[in-house]
Amino acid sequence: MPDGSDAEYLAYVHGRTHALRRVARLLCGDGHQADDLVQETITKLYARRPRLGRVDNLDAYVHTMLVRTFIDERRRGWWKVKLSGASPEPAEPGGVPCVSVLGS
């Protein structure tokens, strides 16, 4: 993408999406997560479009972006909460209060 135009970006993405999805699927093992990973990667690629003229090997650059996006997602995945159909257990009557009021 030497000139960084939208047409060149779209042509590149359309030509490489299948290969990116295959690598993403190998990384995360789930098709839906792989699609999300590819979407996030090509969105980041679009934002960096003006600087891509200086990249020697664009495929290697995008592959590195994909892997780093996957690693970043794994690092911040600890905060995700899995929701269940049951409500949490109520507190026991006569239990110790969790928050005390200052000055009492």
12 contacts 58 by C-beta, under 8 angstroms = yes
Helices H / strands E in the chain, number of each: 3, 0
Where are the domains positioned within the chain? 6-77
CATH number for the domain formed by residue range(s) 6-77:
1.10.1740.10
Lowest mean pLDDT segment, chosen from 36-40, 47-51, 54-58, 95-99: 95-99
**What's the pLDDT score for residue 3?**
62
Task: Provide the pLDDT for residue 15.
Answer: 94
User: Are 50 and 4 in contact, with CB atoms under 8 Å apart?
Assistant: yes
Q: Which residue has the tokens 């780093």?
A: 68
Residues 6+ away with beta carbon under 8 Å from 42 = 13, 17, 20
